[in-house]
Structure 1
């Protein structure tokens, strides 16, 4: 996703925004800065400086989730809709100076995942999650959100993923009823009990492409 650059460069951000929008001046400066970087041939350098930013800070998320267990707050904080790539300058203008509004940055995060370039990273994320690669922890919220984005925006049939998720939930529920918590910790060991989701279903290079919805 780093090839797409800073999320605040997305042209869709200005759709429907009035000319006197309070974010307009900061956004105009930000885009002129990236334009100058491009003209000077600094694109590759800028990509290497991109940072993972959060739409809502950890304290804000904890406050929103204060009536729920800590894990709920963590899931909200790491939700796909709450993260995006920003250049250091945009990150500072948002987190430090507050020159960009939360609504603008939240919209940038949503637009990130509907770009054509997001299709393969989302598929790789699903495959790594379902297969629990390298200890990759299952995150139910992001698993289903990624599947829904792929289905609704990228025309990918994700029924196998949803079915695997439902099977995992059933396994976890039965484990709880038996008093077996080994399948319900945050790493979700129950993922290993899911029907095998092969690379072919993820459309990885060298395999059959994912079946698209009709």
Structure 2
């Protein structure tokens, strides 16, 4: 996982455990066990807030993945390993969970994948996500050669900002597209010094190969 992505997730800690997002259960068909587990989980966090422990809770948040690494590798078996890694660390495949929620999801399967997908989506729509997403975009676009680029996450972050935060990021996206053009031109010349490490596997794929 790149440094900009880690910093983005760290900056999102103030939004709390992803299962506390408002509107999480809207349109969700929870079974009885899942509903009880979620009720218990929310009650626990309500108690923490009432006792003034919410800051401590933020410090305990863990990075969780909606789909496991084996599942992502299976979905990506026709592509280079780096593509699977990008899918695994995609914004909509990651959520910040308290240790208890993380254990209930990974350890017991108490919470459904659908619920976690909604939690991930709502995390980036949270009003507090605007600043961290903008900072992430700038850090990713301005990275020098050798940095692992995250094309999917950059474009996804831009879409979250446009759709959920009414923020125009076309200048940033155009800067990123310009960098990609420079990289492709370098590949065509056989010059890999201008190619970011995260792009190499993509450019080696047959459908991206220069004609």
Q: Give the equivalent residue in structure 1 for 2:172.
A: 161
Q: TM-score, normalised by structure 2?
A: 0.83
Alignment pair present for 1:102 and 2:113: yes
1:178 and 2:158 matched? no
- Asked if 1:87 is matched to 2:98, the reply is yes
State whether structure 2 residue 45 is matched by structure 1 residue 14: no
Check whether the contact 2:82–2:198 (CA below 8 A) recurs between aligned residues.
Answer: no
Please name the residue that 1:62 is paired with. Answer: 73
Cα deviation for residue 186 of structure 1 reads 2.0
| Counterpart for residue 54 of structure 2 | 43
Q: Give the 4+ runs in structure 1 shifted more than 3 A.
A: 18-22
CA deviations over 1:86-133 (Å, ceiling 9, x no partner): 000000000111100011001100100001000000011011111217
In the aligned structure 2, how far is the partner of 1:19 from the partner of 1:65? 29
Shift of 1:137: 3.2
Tell me how large the CA RMSD over aligned residues is.
2.0
Per-residue Cα deviation, 1:5-54 (whole angstroms, up to 9, x for no partner): 10001121111234646521111111011111112221111111011111
For the residues of structure 2 that align with 1:100 and 1:170, how far apart are their CA atoms? 43
1:89 and 1:116 mapped to 2: Cα distance? 25
**Secondary structure at the counterpart of residue 141 of structure 1:** helix
Classify the secondary structure of the residue corresponding to 2:24.
helix
C-alpha distance 97-164 of structure 1, shift in aligned 2 (>3 A): same
Q: Which residue of 2 aligns with 1:78?
A: 89
Aligned pair partner of 2:160 in 146, 149, 161: 149
Note closer, same or farther for the CA distance 1:64–1:19 as it changes in structure 2 (3 Å cut).
Answer: closer
Structure 2 residue corresponding to 1:5, chosen from 12, 16, 27: 16
TM-score by length of 1: 0.82
Compute the displacement of 1:152 (Å): 1.2
Kept in 2, the 8 Å contact 1:128–1:136? The answer is: no
Whether the 8 Å CA contact 2:148–2:196 is kept in 1: the answer is no
**Runs (5+) with no aligned partner, structure 2:** 1-11, 201-211
